[in-house]
């Protein structure tokens, strides 16, 4: 059962701080939403036994305590108001983890496991600046996955096929079928290939060119940032294992909700696929035979590969 926490919290906006309401969901533990005494959005878990220890982050405060002999609380308070869209997905995702639990102990342990995955998105600080190239590339891969691969290969297969931040040969590999995604500006005349392996294969594959335009922070069309795509993709996932895989891959990029990179806005301007086969202009081990060369980077003219364009 998917809970629309955005709507829940919107209806709760005028309530007094420190009040909560129960979520109508069948789980071994009680689930409540509302406002903390400090006025922060809060998701609370009520149980008759103590939950496993969970640590707070700078963006998300976790408080755990005992109210009486058989009443224990685990509360998640959102400190960073700008992260509300992520928090709505976080709440829904946590409930998805515990909905099928058989008892309180099972529910609380599943809750902690799921929280550990999300914790990295609510990290304490930005350890290093994420380049705009990385942000634009990640945006393009997520957009391509949601709007092209989901329909053709299904949600689970597409997410499993995604290399994410791992240094694999292709962005998406589904059996012998593969896709390399390049995200460029709306007027770009070429794409950069950063290694021989990106377009090298014994099997035909696809070069997917996603065109985007950088937009002002006020712009939003529901899929204009990594944050919005992350939330929308989560809504398409119904399997707990796939949720874990996807969240872990996003977290591995090192982009957290306090990073401006998470909310940089783009407008999608177009997608074009090109069939990569023997006659496609690319560098491979066969035409770069020197083992002394350890790194290859080259550009491909987009107009020059027009004849390889797919319908």
Q: Report whether 92 contacts 67 (CB < 8 A).
A: no
How confident is the model at residue 168, as a pLDDT?
Answer: 64
Q: Which of 228, 232, 192, 233 is nearest to 209 (CA)?
A: 192
pLDDT band, very low/low/confident/very high, at 268 (cuts 50, 70, 90): very high
44 beta partners: 32, 75
Residues 109-163 have pLDDT tens digits of 889 888 877 887 776 455 567 788 889 999 999 999 999 999 999 999 999 999 9
Q: What is the pLDDT of residue 291?
A: 79
- pLDDT value of position 124: 47
- Segment among 11-15, 116-120, 242-246 with least mean pLDDT: 11-15
Q: Considering only CA atoms, which of 194, 210, 145 is closest in space to residue 298?
A: 194
Residue with tokens 């007094």: 16
pLDDT tens digits for range 148-202: 999 999 999 999 999 987 766 799 999 889 999 999 999 999 999 988 889 999 8
Q: Say how far apart CA 205 and CA 222 lie, in whole Å.
A: 30
Listed by start position, the domains of the chain span 5-122, 132-308
Question: How buried is 171 (Cβ within 10 angstroms: 0-12 exposed, 13-18 middle, 19+ buried)?
Answer: buried
């Amino acid at each position: 059962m998917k809970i629309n926490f955005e709507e829940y919290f919107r209806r709760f906006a005028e309530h007094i701080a420190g009040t909560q309401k129960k979520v109508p969901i069948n789980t071994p533990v009680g689930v409540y939403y509302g406002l903390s005494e400090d006025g922060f959005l809060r998701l609370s878990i009520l149980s008759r036994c103590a939950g496993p220890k969970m640590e707070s982050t700078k963006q998300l405060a976790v408080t755990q305590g005992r109210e009486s002999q058989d009443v224990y609380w685990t509360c998640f308070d959102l400190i960073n108001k700008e992260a509300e869209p992520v928090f709505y997905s976080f709440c829904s995702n946590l409930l998805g983890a515990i909905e099928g639990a058989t008892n309180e102990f099972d529910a609380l342990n599943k809750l902690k496991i799921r929280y550990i995955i999300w914790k990295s998105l609510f990290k304490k600080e930005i350890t290093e600046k994420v380049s705009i190239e990385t942000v634009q590339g990640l945006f393009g891969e997520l957009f391509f996955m949601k709007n092209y691969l989901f329909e053709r290969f299904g949600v689970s297969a597409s997410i499993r096929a995604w290399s994410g931040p791992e240094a694999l040969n292709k962005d998406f590999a589904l059996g012998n079928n593969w896709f390399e995604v390049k995200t460029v500006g709306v007027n770009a005349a070429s794409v950069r290939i950063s290694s021989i392996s990106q377009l090298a294969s014994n099997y035909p594959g696809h070069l997917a060119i996603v065109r985007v335009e950088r937009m002002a922070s006020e712009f939003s069309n529901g899929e204009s940032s990594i944050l919005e795509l992350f939330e929308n993709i989560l809504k398409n996932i119904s399997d707990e294992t796939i949720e874990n895989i996807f969240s872990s891959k996003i977290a591995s990029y090192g982009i957290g909700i306090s990073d401006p990179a998470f909310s940089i806005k783009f407008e999608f301007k177009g997608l074009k696929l090109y069939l990569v086969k023997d006659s496609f202009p690319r560098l491979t081990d066969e035409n770069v035979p020197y083992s002394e060369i350890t790194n290859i980077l080259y550009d491909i003219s987009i107009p020059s590969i027009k004849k390889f364009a797919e319908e």
